[in-house]
Amino acid sequence: MNRRILAILLLVAFMVALVAACGGEGQTDRQPGDPARAMFVTQSMSNPSQAFSWKEFQRLMGEFNIDMIQVSGNNEVAAEIAGIEQAIAEGYDVIFCNPSNIDAVIEPLRRAREAGIIVGMFSSQLPEGAEDAMDFFCGSDDFEGGMLAGQFVSSRFPEGANFVEVGGQAGHAAQIKRSDGFRAGIANNIIELDAQNCPGGWEPHEARAIMEDFLTKHGDSIDIVWCHWDNGASAVIEAAHAAGKRDIFIIGVDGNSTGYEQVRAGTQALSVGQSFTNMARQSLTNARTILDGGTVPLINIIPMDMVTIDNVETLPWPEW
């Protein structure tokens, strides 16, 4: 009898251990459509694209029965990592992540996946070799967007030209890809004069100071400004006009209402447009699919728009 009791106890212990092991791999008794909790971990709510993205997540999340909070790092990656650790500790179901430093969050995101949390990269894609830290990516192909911008200026300057680059957040994954794409897309006779990033990241007043510095250093040699966000392009335009330079070919990225207005006014030649609404919707769609036991593509590319004076009136006007 004692042997039978011991055998039963051992069997029970084995089953408990087995269930615990399965739980560590994120297996639950969740039913399709059950409520879920998600966290949007992002760079800074002072960045208009991120503030708008959060607004769209809030607007759309009810359709997917996903309740969300956001953690803004204010461009401090330590705060973003703390948000990821909070999601792990509190048992969140999903993390959508658009960090200020992509490399710094790889290991925390791996820990989140090991804890059974679905990780969706939003707008910022993990580098090659780190795909195991995410379940999917939803965003633009920033390399392709930069390349299209480079091809665009090359077609407008067949005899060659000089450009300067005004960057936002140093080390930002999307910016790096756009930079590389732009250099891949330009013709050999489009020459780089200078490039600087904003020390505080995505700060228009810093973009203006950089442009003023470029004008002091390079003056009439500047034909093109490759600026990584439309609100930064506004500051670049202000600096150029203040210096009496109204014929510089200025490019911005985002496709927000500011960029559209500047393209329509003729002060900005091109806005490389992203749809954060479609990114948010696809991210939520993917998360719900995985929560309900389905599978999704690892890479989900949201098409970009090349917004110019020729098509700005025909495209849907951005809501941010």
pLDDT tens by residue, 14-62:
333 333 333 333 445 779 999 999 999 998 898 888 999 999 999 999 9
Closest C-alpha to 105, from 89, 122, 123, 126 = 126
The amino acid at 302: I
Beta carbons within 8 Å of 11's beta carbon, 6+ residues apart: none
The amino acid at 126: L
**pTM (2 d.p.):** 0.75
The string of pLDDT tens digits covering residues 152-208 is: 999 999 999 999 999 998 988 889 999 999 999 999 999 999 999 999 989 999 999
CA distance 173 to 99: 9
Beta carbons within 8 Å of 69's beta carbon, 6+ residues apart: 37, 38, 39, 40
Q: Where are the domains of the chain?
A: 31-140+276-302, 142-273
Q: Identify the architecture of domain 142-273 in CATH.
A: 3-Layer(aba) Sandwich (3.40)
In this chain, the answer to whether the domains covering 31-140+276-302 and 142-273 adopt an identical fold is: yes
Helix, coil or strand: residue 109: helix
- State residue 319's pLDDT score: 82
Q: CA quadruple 192, 196, 44, 125: dihedral positive or negative?
A: positive
Q: Assign residue 177 a region: left if phi > 0, alpha if psi is -120 to 50, beta otherwise? A: alpha
Closest C-alpha to 211, from 238, 190, 188 = 238
Provide the CB-side half-sphere exposure for 301 (13 A, CA): 8
The string of pLDDT tens digits covering residues 263-318 is: 999 999 999 999 999 999 999 999 999 999 999 999 999 989 999 999 999 998 88
Whether 307 contacts 258, CB under 8 Å: no
**CATH classification code of 31-140+276-302:** 3.40.50.2300
CA distance 268 to 18: 61
